[in-house]
C-alpha cells in the first residue's frame, strides 16, 4: 500500500488533511491505514466510502469540499489528466499466487503464439508468467499500451490498446471478473482464456462472447423505432466525454429524432425514473455500465458504436468488432 510514500508526501507538503479513497476490494484496509497515518504524521484523515470504479473516478471534488491538502487514491494506476488537488495513486499490487492458475489455463490454450493481458494489480507478475509459459513451449507476447493504461500488458475496460494490435493467435487474461477479458475478445476477435487467481477458475470466453453479441444486437433491434434518446454524460473526473456526446446528439437529430444531454455521476436505473419519455440511453461515460449494468435498466442502454448501427451509419459486422470503443 506504499504507506511510506504517503507519509513522506504528507510531511513534505505539511498536509493537515488527507482524503483516502478505495475501491470496494480494498476498503477493508481503510481503518488500519487511517490509524497509522494519523498516529505517525498527525494528519487528519477522511475515508470516502462512495463507489470507486477506476482511476477515472477520482474523489477530487469531495477532497476540495473537505479542504484536503492531499488525496490518496488506492488500487488504480494514474489517470492521464491533472487533478485539481495533489493526488497520490497507490496502485496496490496483489501478492496472490498465480502459478497454479496459469498452468491450469495453459491446458486450455491451443495456439502457440499467445498474448498476455492483465489489470494493474498483477502487471508486475507478467514477466514471470511469460517465462513460465515459454518454458513449456508457448511463444508469449506482451503489448505496450498507448492510451490510459500505464504498464506493458495492462488493460482498462476503456483502454485495450496493449492487446488490440498484438500479432498473436489467442490471449490469456489474468485477473478477476469477466468484463476485462470480454473487452479483449470484442476488440480482437480472438479466443480469450481468463484465469482468475482469486477463485482459481479458468474459462474460455468463446460461448460467453457469442451470447453477449446476441444480447447486444437484441438491444439495438428493440431500440430501432425509438424517437426520444438520452445521451448520458458521466460527471466523474475521467469520464466526461462532452464532445462525443454532442456528436452523438447531432447524429440522432440528423435522423429526425429527439436527443437530450443528460448528466449523472453514478449512472444507475433509479436516476432515470423521472424521465419516462426517454426510450433509449447512450452511455458516453464508461463501457462497464453498458455491459454490466445495462440489463438492469427498463429501456435499452447502448454504446456509441451500437447507436451507429441503430441509425444506419455503420453495419453490425463492422461495429461488433469493436463495440466498446468510444470513437465514432
Ligand atoms: S472502464 Fe470505466 S471504470 Fe474502468 S477505467 Fe475506464 S472509464 Fe473508468
Share of the chain above pLDDT 70, in %: 99
CA of 180 to the centre of ligand 1 (A): 10
Judging by beta carbons within 10 Å of its beta carbon (0-12, 13-18, 19+), is residue 23 exposed, middle or buried?
middle
Residue 132, CA atoms < 13 Å, CB-side half-sphere: 15
* Choice among 51-60, 137-146, 314-323 with the minimum mean pLDDT: 314-323
- In this structure, what CATH number is given to the domain that contains residue 160? 3.40.50.11850
Determine the average pLDDT of the residues in 70-82.
Answer: 95
CA of 136 to the centre of ligand 1 (A): 35
Q: What is the pLDDT of residue 104?
A: 97
Identify the domain boundary among 60, 90, 120: 90
Q: Is residue 328 part of a domain?
A: no
pLDDT for residue 273 is more than 90: yes
Q: For residues 99 and 158, is the Cβ–Cβ distance under 8 A?
A: no
What is the distance in A from the centroid of ligand 1 to the CA of 88? 18
Dihedral angle over CA of 119, 120, 124, 127, nearest 10: 30
- β-strand pairing of 70-74 with 87-90: parallel
Boundaries of domain holding 183: 99-204
| Residues 53 and 155 grouped into a single domain | no
54 and 103, same structural domain?
no
- Confidence tier at 132 by pLDDT (50, 70, 90): very high
Where in 81-239 does DSSP place strands (E)?
87-90, 113-118, 139-142, 170-174, 191-195, 202-204, 228-234
Across 98-120, average pLDDT = 95
Are residue 196 and residue 250 in the same domain, yes or no?
A: no
Q: Residue 44 pairs with which residues in a beta bridge?
A: 17
Same domain as 59, residue 149: no
Residue 328 scores a pLDDT above 80 = no
Q: Which of 152, 186, 153, 192 is nearest to 169 (CA)?
A: 192
For a mutational test of ligand 1's pocket, the pick from 75, 76, 157, 184, i.e. the residue with the most ligand atoms closer than 8 A to its C-beta, is: 157
Q: Whose CA is nearest to atom 6 of ligand 1?
A: 158
Residue whose Cα lies nearest atom 7 of ligand 1: it is 286
Whether the CA torsion 289, 293, 297, 301 is positive or negative: it is positive
Percent of the chain with pLDDT over 90: 94
Give the pLDDT of residue 322.
Answer: 80
- The answer to the question of residue 168 being in a domain is yes
Q: Are residues 241 and 267 in the same domain?
A: yes
Which residue, among 86, 29, 91, has the nearest Cα to 55 in the 3D structure?
91
Is residue 158 assigned to a domain? yes
Q: List the grid coordinates of 108.
A: 486450455
CA distance 324 to 187: 8
Is 254 buried (19+), middle (13-18) or exposed (0-12) by CB count in 10 A? exposed
Identify the CATH number of the domain in which residue 247 sits: 3.40.50.11860
pLDDT band at residue 92 using 50, 70 and 90 as cut-offs: confident
Q: What is the pLDDT of residues 18-50, one digit of tens each?
A: 999 999 989 999 999 999 999 999 999 999 999
pLDDT tens by residue, 190-199: 999 999 999 9
Q: Are 222 and 137 in contact (CB under 8 A)?
A: no
Is 325 a domain residue?
no
The distance from CA 11 to its chain's CA centroid, rounded to whole angstroms, is 33
Where are any strands of DSSP class E within the chain?
A: 17-21, 44-48, 70-74, 87-90, 113-118, 139-142, 170-174, 191-195, 202-204, 228-234, 258-264, 280-283, 301-302
Closest approach atom of ligand 1 to CA 79: 5
Note whether 257 and 272 are same-domain residues: yes
- Could you report how far apart the first and last alpha carbons of the chain are, in Å? 39
Over 80: is that where the pLDDT of 127 sits? yes
Express each pLDDT in 215-272 by its tens digit.
999 999 999 999 999 999 999 999 999 999 999 999 999 999 999 999 999 999 999 9
- Find the mean pLDDT for residues 169-193: 95
- Average pLDDT over every residue of 118-136: 96
54 pocket-lining for ligand 1 (C-beta < 6 Å)? yes
Distance CA 127, CA 130 (A): 5
Q: Are residues 286 and 215 in the same domain?
A: yes
Contacts of 117 (CB under 8 A, 6+ apart): 143, 153, 154, 155, 162, 163, 171, 172, 173, 174, 180, 181, 184
Report how far ligand 1's centroid is from the alpha carbon of 5 (Å). Answer: 25
Residues 110 and 178 in one domain: yes
Task: Among 179, 204, 229, identify where a domain stops.
Answer: 204
Among 47, 70, 90, which residue terminates a domain? Answer: 90
305 within domain boundaries: yes
Question: Does residue 251's CB lie within 6 angstroms of at least one atom of ligand 1?
Answer: no
- d(CA 131, CA 66) in angstroms, rounded, equals 47
| Domain annotation covers residue 313 | yes
Q: What pLDDT shows up at residue 327?
A: 67
Note the pLDDT of residue 324: 80
Number of domains present in the structure of the chain: 3
- In degrees rounded to 5, what are phi and psi of residue 18? -135, 135
Mean pLDDT of the chain: 95
CATH code assigned at 54: 3.40.50.11840
Residue 94 is predicted with a pLDDT of: 86
pLDDT value of residue 325? 74
Do 170 and 224 lie in one domain? The reply is no
* Phi, psi for residue 46 in degrees, rounded to 5: -120, 135
pLDDT at position 321: 81
* 131 shares a domain with 79: no
Is the domain of 84 the same as that of 111?
no
State if residue 156 touches ligand 1 by the CB under 6 angstroms criterion. yes
Examine the pLDDT at 297 and tell me if it is beyond 90.
yes
Nearest CA to ligand 1 atom 5: 54
Identify whether 327 is part of a domain. Answer: no
Domain check: are 308 and 227 in the same one?
A: yes
Looking at ligand 1, which residue's alpha carbon is closest to its atom 2? 286
Asked whether residue 47 is assigned to any structural domain, the reply reads: yes
CA dist., res. 273 & res. 35, Å (int): 41
Amino acid at each position: 500500500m506504499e504507506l511510506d510514500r504517503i507519509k513522506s508526501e504528507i510531511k513534505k507538503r505539511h498536509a493537515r488533511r488527507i482524503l483516502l479513497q478505495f475501491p470496494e476490494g480494498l476498503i477493508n484496509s481503510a481503518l488500519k491505514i487511517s490509524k497509522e497515518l494519523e498516529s505517525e504524521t498527525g494528519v487528519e484523515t477522511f475515508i470516502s466510502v462512495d463507489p470507486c470504479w477506476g482511476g477515472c473516478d477520482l474523489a477530487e471534488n469531495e477532497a476540495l469540499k473537505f479542504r484536503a491538502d492531499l488525496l490518496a487514491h488506492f488500487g488504480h494506476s494514474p489517470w492521464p489528466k491533472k487533478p485539481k488537488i495533489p493526488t497520490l495513486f497507490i496502485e496496490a499490487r496483489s501478492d496472490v499466487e498465480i502459478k497454479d492458475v496459469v498452468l491450469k489455463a495453459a491446458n486450455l490454450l491451443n495456439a502457440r503464439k499467445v498474448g498476455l493481458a492483465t489489470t494493474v494489480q498483477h502487471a508486475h507478475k507478467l514477466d514471470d508468467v511469460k517465462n513460465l509459459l515459454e518454458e513449456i513451449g508457448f511463444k508469449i507476447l506482451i503489448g505496450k499500451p498507448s492510451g490510459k493504461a500505464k504498464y506493458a500488458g495492462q488493460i482498462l475496460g476503456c483502454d485495450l490498446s496493449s492487446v488490440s494490435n498484438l500479432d498473436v493467435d489467442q490471449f490469456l487474461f489474468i485477473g478477476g471478473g469477466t468484463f476485462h477479458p470480454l473487452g479483449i475478445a470484442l476488440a480482437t476477435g480472438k479466443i480469450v482464456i481468463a484465469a482468475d487467481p482469486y477463485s482459481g477458475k479458468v474459462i474460455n470466453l468463446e460461448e460467453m462472447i457469442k451470447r453477449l453479441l446476441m444480447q447486444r444486437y437484441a438491444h439495438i433491434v428493440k431500440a430501432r423505432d425509438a424517437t426520444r434518446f438520452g445521451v448520458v454524460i458521466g460527471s466523474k473526473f475521467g469520464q466526461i466525454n462532452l464532445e462525443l456526446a454532442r456528436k452523438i446528439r447531432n447524429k440522432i437529430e440528423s435522423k429526425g429524432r429527439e436527443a437530450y444531454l443528460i448528466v449523472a455521476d453514478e449512472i444507475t436505473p433509479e436516476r432515470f425514473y423521472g424521465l419516462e419519455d426517454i426510450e433509449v440511453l447512450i452511455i458516453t461515460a464508461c463501457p462497464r455500465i453498458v455491459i454490466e449494468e445495462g440489463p438492469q435498466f427498463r429501456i435499452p442502454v447502448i454504446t456509441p458504436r451500437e447507436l451507429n448501427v441503430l441509425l444506419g451509419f455503420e453495419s453490425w459486422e463492422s461495429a461488433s468488432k469493436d463495440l466498446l470503443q468510444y470513437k465514432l
